Amino acid sequence: MAKFAKFRNFCFLENVAWNASKIYLIVTMKSVVEYKDYRKYVLDYYRERKRTSAFTWREFAKIAGFASGSYLKLVCDGKTRLREEGAKKTALAMGMLGFEYDYFVLMVRYENAKTEQQKKKCFEEMQALSEAHHVKILGSDLYTFYETWKHSVVRELAVAMPGAKPHEIAKACRPAISAADVSASLSFLMKAGLLTRDIKGNYHQTNRSLTTGRLNVVAVAVHSLLRQMGEFALEALDKLPISERHFSGITMGVTAESYAKVVEELAACRKRIVSIVSADKKIEKVCRLNMQLFPLTENLNCDPTDLGKGV
């Protein structure tokens, strides 16, 4: 049995796999509760260890107690999967303890669940752990949030306009919506736990930022919201002066490798932007930032006979 003890910036692993003591620097990664895909977490962990040492997949597998040196790489490549016991061994190999260990095992359990009821149970347990550590994850119970753009805008305006009536909030929206729409949205946001109301009647956000994670429970609703926001962007391009909007773009050639790096950079940029606006004490308006990256040509590495077929 592996034993773990944490000392400030270090994690001490005793008698792991080959009966040798080692000391590893704790990797500087975001919390596991910000992940919804266990493969992505394992891959990020490996990349961080690789970045700071000569860590290999073989060494990783050995620490976790797997016979095959390439097993965890195959897991991350989507060619095989972790099972319950393998999830526990992998979590220990990554130095996980307490709720982080439990959360990782739940991610694997969710992925392996065979029925929607099993998946829902796992997701609810994951959500409970994440909320206990101040990360809000939207699940099937909050599917409605992403069905329309109104909820995200009203959620911001309700806090920015203390004491405002529904009809006043409605007038601040662009495009305009009805007071009934605002009232319905406020009711939903309160019921869903995304807003609270104090004794003075002022609204407060329970979490400054939200994430859908990487689960499929809200995928269709998110798709609808992205389409709505894309249409608003086109309207803004035609109707708003340059001083009130910012549009820019790049047409570029990429490889699969550079494409993946660009996606990672966009994700990091989005997090930095959230950090910037989260520091604001009082907002002046609600804006939408869209990020799109899509192909304008077919894949030039495919068979010439496949061009035009979306291969």
What are the structural domain ranges in the chain? 3-132, 140-256
Cα separation of 106 and 124, whole Å? Answer: 10
Instruction: Give residue 137's pLDDT.
Output: 58
Higher-pLDDT residue of 282 and 43 is: 43
Nearest C-alpha neighbor of 99 from the set 49, 140, 50, 135: 135
In this structure, of 67-81, 145-159, 292-306, the range with the lowest mean pLDDT score is 292-306
Q: Per-residue confidence at 310, pLDDT binned at 50, 70, 90?
A: low
Cα separation of 33 and 153, whole Å? Answer: 26
Contact 110, 122 (CB under 8 A): yes
138 CB neighbour count, 10 Å cutoff: 22
Half-sphere exposure of 55 (CA within 13 A, CB side): 21
Cα separation of 242 and 238, whole Å? Answer: 10
Instruction: Give residue 165's pLDDT.
Output: 93
Which fold is adopted by the domain 140-256? Arc Repressor Mutant, subunit A (1.10.10)
- The predicted-structure confidence for 7-55, as pLDDT tens digits, reads as follows 323 333 333 333 333 333 344 567 788 788 999 999 999 998 888 888 9
Instruction: Give residue 219's pLDDT.
Output: 56
**229 to each of 23, 147, 179, 208, how far by Cα in Å?**
49, 12, 21, 20
- The predicted-structure confidence for 98-147, as pLDDT tens digits, reads as follows 888 999 999 999 999 888 778 878 888 887 887 776 555 555 446 678 77
Q: Per-residue confidence at 177, pLDDT binned at 50, 70, 90?
A: very high
- What pTM did the predictor assign? 0.49
The single residue listed with the structure tokens 């989005």 is 270
Instruction: Provide, rounded to the nearest whole percent, the portion of the chain with pLDDT above 90.
Output: 47
**Res. 294: pLDDT tops 80:** yes
